[in-house]
Amino acid sequence: MKLAILGAGNVGGALGKGWAGRGHSITYGVPSPGNPKYAEIAGNAGSAKVTDVADAAKNADVVILATPWDAVPVALAAFGDFGGRLLIDATNPLRFGVSGLELGVGFETSGGEIVAGLAKGAAVVKTMNQVGFAVMAAPKHYAVPPVMFAAGDDENAKKLALQLVAELGFDARDAGPLKISRLLEPLAMLWIGQVMTHGAPGDNAFAFLSRQTP
């Protein structure tokens, strides 16, 4: 499939490399495609194309939103109408508060729901937001597959998102409708807290385990 990744930072780079390794064609949509800093990221993702967001929209089968939270409105506006396509929302609505890094929204809405309101014609699925990029880069290197939940209202789009997540090596699980993003974004905050406050390595991950039968 043709995947357009909006944003080419750590998360976008890890996802592009992983999906390129599964045979998908990657295009990065960024504000300044001529910047030489994108050359290594594109090379790691199967010699991915780097272009502006509007151009990335033209032929994409699936779009992945991997920008910083404050860049989301501009990126989605530049993309235009999604025409019913799957939009994987890998962002978290983070901000700096009086106590440090925190979520900017919570009980009454979520970043995923805000993205759905901004992304015209998109079938939004919140996933790939619950761990850091070091986990996304090599999920197959764990004793058990790291878990990754997905939330969305369009069942067909969510099925496709879960397929793509599983291809990377995650234990991909359906978390329910898009409003469950209100739980998945705090789960990301829990992971961030373990790394930033409690000294956990950046490649730590969550797992969803079943008890072994005696």
pLDDT tens digits for range 33-51: 999 999 999 999 999 999 9
Contact of 66 with 14, CB cutoff 8 Å: no
Sequence ranges of the domains in the chain: 2-196
The first and second tokens of residue 203, run together, are 């490649």
Confidence tier at 106 by pLDDT (50, 70, 90): confident
Confidence tier at 94 by pLDDT (50, 70, 90): confident
Confidence tier at 151 by pLDDT (50, 70, 90): very high
The first and second tokens of residue 54, run together, are 């509007």
For the domain covering 2-196, report its CATH number.
3.40.50.720
Question: Treating both helix axes as pointing N-terminal to C-terminal, what angle do 111-118 and 72-79 enclose, rounded to 10 degrees?
Answer: 30
Residue 103: count other Cβ atoms within 10 Å of its Cβ: 19
pLDDT above 80 for 98 = no
Residues facing residue 63 across a β-bridge: 4, 87
**What pLDDT is recorded for position 97?**
81
The first and second tokens of residue 73, run together, are 């409105």
Output phi, psi for 25, to 5 deg: -90, 125
pLDDT above 90 for 108 = yes
**What pLDDT is recorded for position 214?**
75
SS3 labels along 135-180:
HHHCHHHCCCCCEEEEEECCHHHHHHHHHHHHHHCCEEEEEECHHH
Mean pLDDT of the region 189-193 = 96
The helix/strand/coil state of 182 is helix
**What pLDDT is recorded for position 107?**
83
